[in-house]
Chain A
């Protein structure tokens, strides 16, 4: 199922070009044989020569193929028109990026090659990313043409194949892997997981085989599948989305165990039950704009570059409200009662690693500022003011917030109690046989 598209596939346009060339050749040889005949009327020679030169001219025009650049071995900072990376390497000279060429070591997986994913893929390709893994099961449609990237002549191709076709032309240095599959099905998910784990591109890399996963899907089920895979693999990922009314969007950084996972905070529709039209997806008449999708793709890839190349700050959450040009940011801690088991495991690991993390942070701080004075800033501390770490989890506040004012009770049990209730009930059903139940249903079905 996983197609490693490195070979050249011909599309309809290329076939037409080849056919045209053949026809021109035939026309030329027909003309040649005509002039070779000793024509009775010498006045015909001049117009024949004229026709011949015109056909020659057309043949030359058709032969002029689009220029395809060859691969580049090393990224050069040399400022010449023929260097595809000179403007990117200049980021080093400007003091923004320490070592831009590292980008060739990175692998990024993009799930969903639609309005946001395809543009993000093009941006990363033009930046010279090492490897891109592309996942989608859809085909290009004319209804997609209000967005960027895909062209009308690609209608009918799978989005992954069409993307590989365009991207490999833009930058042949990028290793492209395309996976035409649905990650929410059991088989698709299996292939997806093993493709993320594959380390053949960079064998001595820590963790999984990719550096970042970008979720550019348009529905809740697929986001939950990306979330599941990343929680299990402890893989950092960036989520992106554009609202159904096409005027707002967001990106979110998800580090398993450290920040909220996608299942930690249920979407607004589930939590509030008020506005249930916010998470609808494409197909049921959702609106879309190339502008909003372009902005979100830009924010997504900008943060991808910051994350990979280690410059600036990666936003934990960045919203985009285009009606008011408002960009809210916020941070979400993981939910200790998250329904995702893998998320809870990552949270536990993260809490256990806190002492080591603190020590590392302290060491780094000391290394950065060895000259600063260690003594107290103020000799007299009249009010006994002291600085405490507000990241401490086990403060007295977390307990007191559980206590309700007099007269109020919780209607629903807490998550822990609920879990116990479930496990105590489960074993009572164990003596049933699956085959037996299957037969029972079949019997009722055929009755």
Chain B
């Protein structure tokens, strides 16, 4: 904590500058997600365990924050004991309808120097803003931010700054163009609402 104020001021100032152009909501949410300190990847043994603890803490805080702000929009949990693969769900509400997608990603060997590549496999091939296998495109809006803030950003930050804006930009287009249908649309004829 001793060196925190000096470091913090410098960093917050530089972060504010690069966050220009983001909406105030995202900005204020971001400042409340706990930052990480350990720079370690899945091959770093005990240091990775430490990093994993920090990841959990920041994910817990972020999920709690979303719930209390009535902005719950994802579920994510480790799919293996090493914490190198994560699976879950994310959803987006558009025109009062909720669109839900499977969410999955691997922690790359070079993590946290490189960000996780978030995948929405159900949308593979449905939008241009996506790489093969359903990896969403993070290149322009997120990767530079991640690289500048390594190792302070973790999974929670990737979801907040990478996935959330992607869903906000892409889901309306996918729905309006008819590429995706709400899950009730197919069954409305048989179900009574």
Contact = CB atoms under 8 A, between A and B. Distances in A.
Interface stretch (B141-149, B171-179, B181-189): B141-149
Contacts of A321: none
A413 B3 CA distance: 11
Given A269-B143, A426-B38, A429-B54, A411 B10 contact: yes
B162 to A, nearest CB: 14
Interface stretch (A5-13, A162-170, A281-289): A281-289
B6 A413 contact: yes
Interface in A234-270: 263, 266, 269-270
Contacts of B129: 284
B37 A422 contact: yes
A224 B82 contact: no
A412 B37 contact: no
Interface of A: 138, 183-186, 189, 220-221, 224-225, 227-228, 263, 266, 269-270, 273, 276-277, 279-285, 339-340, 411-413, 417-418, 420-422, 424-426, 429-430, 432, 434, 437-438, 440-442, 444-445, 447
A224 B114 CA distance: 8
Interface in B117-138: 117, 128-132, 137
Contact of A185 (B60, B108, B128): B108
A183 B43 CA distance: 14
Main secondary structure of the interface of B (DSSP, over half): mixed
Interface residues of B, number: 56
Contact of A429 (B2, B53, B63): B53
A441 B54 contact: no
Interface string B91-126: 000000000000000111110011001000000000
B188 to A, nearest CB: 29
B14 A411 contact: yes
Given A273-B18, A276-B140, A186 B3 contact: no
Contacts of A284: 128-131, 137, 139
A429 to B, nearest CB: 6
Contacts of A429: 50, 53-54, 57
B140 A277 contact: yes
Given A225-B108, A445-B77, 4 more contacts: A186-B43, A269-B143, A282-B131, A422-B38
B53 A444 contact: no
B14 A434 contact: no
Contacts of B137: 280, 284
A144 to B, nearest CB: 12
B37 A434 contact: no
B7 A228 contact: no
